[in-house]
Amino acid sequence: MTIGIVGGGPAGAMTAERLLRGTFPLQGDWDGVQVIVFEEKLDWEKPCGGGLSPKALKKYPFLLQAADKANPVRKMEMRAPGGASVCLDLRAPLAIYSRRELNHLLLERSEQAGAQVVNDRITGAMRHGNKWRLRGRAGCYEADYLIIAAGARSSLRNELAGSLNARDFMLTFGYFVPGSEDRLRIEFFEDFEGYAWSFPRRDHLSVGICGKIGHARMSELQQKLLGFMARLGYSSESSPVFSHLLPSLEVDSWARIRLEGDGWALAGDTAGLTDPITGEGLYFALRSGELLAESLLGGASYARSVWNEFGRKLMLGARICPRFYLGNFLGASVTTRMVQFCRRSRTYADLFQDLVEGNQAYYGLHGRVFRNLPKSLMEIATQSLGRRLRPQPAERA
């Protein structure tokens, strides 16, 4: 029995490792299982912030144990459209990885578990009876079961599950900038469905911007990003540039998503499994790979497992996304109020930290915000009054 996995990123590598380290046999007559991971780019720095949340690190402690490959960051700075800013001391660190380092780590673990890694680009797949015939640039292969984990733009994904709509993507643009910092930075913009970021990796900064396709053009992304970089003193001169499509599914796309079929399944970005608001995809790539392996090992429905664990939550995120970026709250943009409340209300800052850590889902978020609103407003008012009553330094003659 041969399982072919197209794509050796987090989703593909995790699926391979968990399949081969499974604690009970594959369902059906799958004796002598062989897992082959096809990866075209074994030494590629993917355009991505590379941040892993405390939730991901708790779920997969080996990621935090590989401390020599990540930069643990405990400060997060956010800037609102009107210029208000806040710097939070995070209760738990975010691990910022170079994607080259992270992919190497995960692929090595899959090889140690017994997977065969083949350096080839799979350009076509056809079903013949119960077999898949795979066509690569370097050769042809066969598999009994096919897993696509090669990114959201994969042509194989489109052939099996149908293509995503243009509105199901965010366009990203950015630079890998030399330097080091002790914090990650996020900046929001007026009437813009997206944000700019600076994620400090161990030996450089991943600086970029993402914007929803249909609302943002590349020229606008470049202009906003260069303004963000100029404000922070970053230079794009001689810095490697990147551009990438990030899945950010619309509500109607979630309603018709296909994750598996006869002899095949999708995982990670290929399946569209990213947070529509934040663009976070690493945790969902790892977890979808794990759920897929568990479904093949145990016979449960992979699609149902994904939906029950986080699919419906991501669909709610898609519903919230336009309101988050383009909506108003108490007379200002939602992102402006979020930054202001984080700076001046301990109650609200605790809620936001729960979101960052993955302990507060979108379900229940609206209710928690409004239950805590009187207390948050009281804290803001008390802080403002304290500032007014604080003695001012005497003027010099």
Q: Which CATH number fits domain 2-45+99-164+250-317: 3.40.50.12780, 3.50.50.60, 1.10.10.60, 3.40.50.280?
A: 3.50.50.60
330: how many CB neighbours lie within 10 A of its CB? 11
Tokens 């081969």 belong to which residue? 20
Computed on alpha carbons and rounded to an integer, the radius of gyration of the chain in Å comes to: 23
The pair of structure tokens assigned to 87 is 């710097």
Q: Are 292 and 301 in contact (CB under 8 A)?
A: no
Question: Which H helix or E strand runs over 264?
Answer: strand 264-266
What integer best gives the mean pLDDT of the chain?
Answer: 90
Q: What pLDDT, in 10s, does the model give residues 231-248? A: 999 988 878 888 888 999
| DSSP three-state, residue 44 | coil
Q: What confidence score (pLDDT) does residue 188 get?
A: 97
Domain extents in the chain: 2-45+99-164+250-317, 65-96+166-247, 345-387
Q: Are 2 and 142 in contact (CB under 8 A)?
A: yes
Q: What confidence score (pLDDT) does residue 151 get?
A: 86
Question: Which H helix or E strand runs over 77?
Answer: strand 70-79
- Distance of alpha carbon 246 from alpha carbon 280, whole angstroms: 10
Question: Which H helix or E strand runs over 378?
Answer: helix 365-389
Its pTM surpasses 0.75: yes
Return the C-alpha torsion angle 174, 98, 151, 247, nearest 10: -50
Average confidence (pLDDT) over 325-342: 94
Regarding beta strands 194-200 and 328-329, do their DSSP bridges make them parallel or antiparallel, or are they unpaired?
unpaired
CATH architecture of 65-96+166-247: 2-Layer Sandwich (3.30)
Q: What pLDDT, in 10s, does the model give residues 80-101? A: 998 999 999 999 999 999 888 8
H-type alpha helices, 121-250: 155-161, 218-232
Half-sphere exposure (CA, 13 Å, Cβ side) for 69? 18
Tokens 């997060």 belong to which residue? 76
Bigger pLDDT: 82 vs 394: 82
Q: Are 236 and 204 in contact (CB under 8 A)?
A: no
Residue ranges with strand state E in 82-130: 85-97, 116-118, 122-128
Going by pLDDT thresholds of 50, 70 and 90, the confidence category of residue 1 is confident
- Distance of alpha carbon 24 from alpha carbon 27, whole angstroms: 9
366: how many CB neighbours lie within 10 A of its CB? 11
Q: What confidence score (pLDDT) does residue 90 get?
A: 95
- Distance of alpha carbon 222 from alpha carbon 228, whole angstroms: 10
- Distance of alpha carbon 113 from alpha carbon 20, whole angstroms: 6
Q: What pLDDT, in 10s, does the model give residues 182-228? A: 999 999 999 999 999 999 999 899 999 999 988 878 888 999 999 99
Q: What confidence score (pLDDT) does residue 396 get?
A: 46
The pair of structure tokens assigned to 272 is 């569209």
Burial environment of residue 293 by CB neighbours within 10 A (0 to 12, 13 to 18, 19 or more):
buried
- Distance of alpha carbon 183 from alpha carbon 87, whole angstroms: 9
